[in-house]
Amino acid sequence: MTSYPPAIDDFGYVDPPETAWDESRPDTRVDSQLARAEFAAGQIARATAAQMAAIARVLAEARRHPEVYVALTDEPTKRQIDIAVDAAIADLAMRLTMAEGTVMTMARQADLLRTRAPRLWSIFLEGEISVANARCVAVTLESLPENSESDGTLDGKALELASLAPARFKDRMRTLRERLHPRSLTDRHTEAACGRRFWRDNDRDGMAWLGLHLTAPDAETAWQRIDGIARHLADAPDETRTLDQLRADVAADMLTGRSDPATAPRVTVGVLVPMLSLLGLSDEPATLEGYGPIDADTARKLTAHAPSFYRILTHPVSSTILDVDRTRYRPPADLKRWLALRDGTCRFYGCGRSARTCDLDHSKAWSKGGTTSAGNLGHLHPRHHTVKEESRWRVEQHEHGRLTWTSPTGATWNSDPPPF
Ligand SMILES: [Zn+2]
């Protein structure tokens, strides 16, 4: 690897005169930028390894000294230690603008590499293996039972192959994993099949992704069936949709129950429609529960013709619903529905879990005089609800559902509900 001083002009560094490049020649201009790119690659790897190590250390401290994150009067219980670790993960996520899942992954990968592939970990700290390849080793180790002999083989081989391109490196690691794995493929498949799942991910322009992680035979059967129907439809003389569009439509018809409405379970999805958009006087976007903004035209059609969608009008509803009975602990159904639309997801930093899977939390506890009203309720999914209730994380609710979160170590973050 080329060693080169940190002379990155756009970032305020200046080349020392003795290493200045001849900028009048295109080949040396290219050389100088190549050297900078290579130098930066080493820095990125070093910095990433250092960050992973620091994250792992914070979590280890939270485990050893839970009192930093949880108020303790006695020896900590296992549950208090777990809550302290969750509170620390949230603290790191907020300070680093990272997903909590990423924080956990980085800590786990640092621990795996440090303990099971120490030689590789040390060259990673030196910036001599790319982040992609180092992570690939961690992922491979994670899927192999700990064994000093096979770990040592993997460590040595990874070191030897460290400079391979990421795709080639990954192939070699997969092959090596097959050779080192002590369990049969049958066993491993049985376990992997327990991880089958169905997921969604919201996209722009009123679109979203749905995905399935299935056993290969189920995936193949489903594909053949959908593809077969799509190809059959494509043969119709007036069909203008592409095969990709047809497959998507066929699968959507099956999954939404449109293809067989008699047996489909009834689904209800809220749509928040601005009054003027409903009347066709404005094109202000509507809000689909669990998703976010959709165009006014789609919203008008959904709420007029599709029985699965119920309509909540913005203006009249927001003014009346917020005035519901505040003397009860349990929020009434219409307030719950409105809050599910206002929040959309868990209100903790960075959390995307749908409001449907969340608890309604009183920002200021009911027992301390907090009211059951839109201005004091917010969605938190169970794990974040526990972190808020039982660690030293604090929340304050302001007007219009805005929350201020303060971590046990003093970092703060303001969370707005999704805009309507
Ligand atoms: Zn959450």
Distance between Cα 6 and ligand 1 center (Å) = 41
Distance between Cα 166 and ligand 1 center (Å) = 33
**Looking only at Cα atoms, what is the longest distance across the chain?**
80
Distance between Cα 353 and ligand 1 center (Å) = 6
- For the ranges 73-77, 134-138, 298-302, the lowest mean pLDDT is seen at 298-302
Distance between Cα 343 and ligand 1 center (Å) = 12
One-character DSSP codes across 159-183? HHHTTS-HHHHHHHHHHHHHHH--S
**Is pLDDT at 274 greater than 80 in this prediction?**
no
Give phi and psi for 9, each to the nearest 5. -55, -40
For 30, the 3-state DSSP assignment is: helix
Distance between Cα 208 and ligand 1 center (Å) = 21
Distance between Cα 381 and ligand 1 center (Å) = 5
Distance between Cα 290 and ligand 1 center (Å) = 14
Q: What tens digit of pLDDT does each residue of 334-393 get?
A: 678 778 888 888 999 888 888 888 999 999 888 888 877 778 899 999 999 999 999 999
Distance between Cα 347 and ligand 1 center (Å) = 6
Mean pLDDT of the chain: 84
Distance between Cα 80 and ligand 1 center (Å) = 18
Distance between Cα 205 and ligand 1 center (Å) = 25
Distance between Cα 405 and ligand 1 center (Å) = 13
Distance between Cα 417 and ligand 1 center (Å) = 14
8-state DSSP, 366: G
Give 279's pLDDT tier (boundaries 50, 70, 90): low
Give 263's pLDDT tier (boundaries 50, 70, 90): low
Distance between Cα 192 and ligand 1 center (Å) = 26
What percent of the chain has a predicted confidence (pLDDT) above 90? Answer: 50
- For the ranges 28-32, 159-163, 217-221, 309-313, the lowest mean pLDDT is seen at 309-313
Pairing, β 292-294 against β 286-288: antiparallel
Distance between Cα 92 and ligand 1 center (Å) = 15
**Is pLDDT at 324 greater than 50 in this prediction?**
no
**Which residue matches tokens 């349990």?**
330
**Is pLDDT at 18 greater than 60 in this prediction?**
no
The pLDDT score that the predictor gives to residue 19 is 61
